[in-house]
Structure 1
Amino acid sequence: MAKQLKVPSLQHMARIWRPDAEAIRKVLVRLATHGPSFSYAPLFKIVHEMLVFKTPYEVSVEAVRRTKRDDVRENFLGIMPLINEYFSRVRPSFVHEVTPRLYSLSRDIQVPFAPPLMYGAGGTVVFPWLSFWKSNPLEGEALSLFVTIVEELILQDSDLEDAQFKILDFSAKDSRSQRELSVIQASDIPRLNPERKTEMLAVFAEGYRLARDHLQGISSGEAVSESVLINEEQMNLF
């Protein structure tokens, strides 16, 4: 049975982007056939509970230590001190969930965007985006594409139009280094002009359709040619 191709989230779409559609097709096919096997969702829940319910850090760490898979547990434990370093200093006056929404890339492709939360502190509304990838964080045009589209979506929401948009990057400098927390002010990221944004999105849409057609054409039992495994840290789509 052919694999079902999911439309990647907005951040993953930006990370998957390549200069030509065929390269995007290959990445999407590999993801559909050899996708990652764990999710960072528990960490988003932990941040939410720390801010909303004032859950003590030690309680959150103990919950992480009960993670069954050794590699996932060690991965999460490497992030927990950095989460605590940042959010233990936050004294929010309110914390609100942000309604998920879709970005219309084309008539047939709707890209999901699900922000974790927003909070108010010191009279300022803060919209933090948490990026837990250990390697290959967004940078360059990919980062500009992400920020440009997020800004479009934020400006459509009256609750977020004046928010400080921050990217909390929990990556490591290289494979031998420990993770570090970098706080990126989205206001410092160059925006794409409308023409370049449209061009980049058109290339992605073409690559997505190529991947979708490729996977739909695979009959039951056939092998997919792009069978190279993707490292879970390099492309975590869940």
Structure 2
Amino acid sequence: MAKLKVPSAQHLARNWEGTPDKVRKGLVKLVRNPPTFSYQPLFGYVRDMLLWGVSEQQIETAIRTKIKRENVQDLYLELLPLISSHFLGDRPKYVMAVDRRYYAAGRGLMVPFDPPIIYGGADGMVFPWFSFWKSNPLSGERLSLFVTIVKEILCDDPDLESANFQILDFSAPKGSVERKLSIINSNDVPILSSARKQDMLEVFAEGYFAALDELRNDPVADVKEAPIVGPDQLKLFD
């Protein structure tokens, strides 16, 4: 069963709503109808492309061999040509994993932030963030909230503050069923004022803890509460 855990920074922004009650309802719905797969394996294929120059054909073979569920295979293979066209041919100076960071989101909520990779491009360090949602990608204030949080995290780390933070949006444009890669430069996204950011975080935190209260005695949901002290917390879903 899915467990309600502290969301990642991206899922916090994705699941933000205008009122705590709407946040609560959305999180409860997610626990009762959880995602059935993860895009996480794709990050390994991206690292293989960048580190070793592994071809699109080799990765397609690996997906067909290692991913047993055909519907998940299809989702990965739908994304593969877009990922390949963006990264293949790049031979970065380095490719690195980044340790988990945490962001204080109010009421003791420590939100985990897990950058998949950073790499050394021709013009310096590149930090790509992957948004694999096919529909309803982050936009408007939700996108601004996410970018504001990430930029604060990066600025607090001397090793990352100079990184070129890009969002790779693999969604399908409205009216289309085919995905298209859009590269969003984080500098083109409006940053929230401190007051607005704090207001949005407080709304989410209140809704999150209300969802925990509702689910605590739910016979269907398997709830794991986030500790108020200590940052050992995972993403929204296992």
**Aligned equivalent of 2:29:** 30
Q: Which amino acid aligns with 2:135?
A: S
CA-to-aligned-CA distance 1:175-229 (integer Å, 9 cap, x gap) = 74211000000000000000000000000001001100001133x479xxxxxxx
Matched ranges for 1:1-238 at <5 A: 4-66=3-65, 67-174=67-174, 176-218=176-218, 220=219, 237=237
* Cα drift, residue 91 of structure 1: 2.2
SS in 2 for 1:213: helix
Greater shift in the superposed pair: 96-105 or 181-190: 96-105
Corresponding residue number in structure 1 for 2:233: none
Q: Is the 8 A contact 2:20 2:204 kept in 1?
A: yes
How much identity, in percent, do the aligned residues show? Answer: 47
Query: What is the Cα deviation at residue 26 of structure 1?
Result: 0.7
Distance 1:211 1:177, change over 3 A: same
**Normalising by structure 1, what TM-score?**
0.88
Any gaps of 5 or more consecutive residues in structure 1?
223-235
Contact 1:16 1:27 in 2 (8 A): yes
Tell me the SS of whatever aligns to 1:37: coil
1:123 shift after superposition: 3.8
Task: Give the TM-score normalised by the residue count of structure 2.
Answer: 0.88
Check whether the contact 2:9–2:146 (CA below 8 A) recurs between aligned residues.
Answer: yes
SS at match of 1:38: coil
User: Which shifted more, 29-38 or 140-149?
Assistant: 29-38
CA RMSD in angstroms, aligned pairs only: 1.8
Could you report, residue by residue, the CA deviation over 1:117-166 in whole angstroms, capped at 9, with x for unpaired residues?
11111141111101111111000000000000100000111111111110
- Give the 3-state SS of the residue equivalent to 1:138 in structure 2: coil
Q: Secondary structure at the match of 2:105?
A: strand
* 1:63 counterpart letter in structure 2: A
Q: Evaluate the alpha carbon distance shift between residue 4 and residue 173 of structure 1 in structure 2; reply closer, same or farther with a 3 A threshold.
A: same
1:232 — aligned with what? none
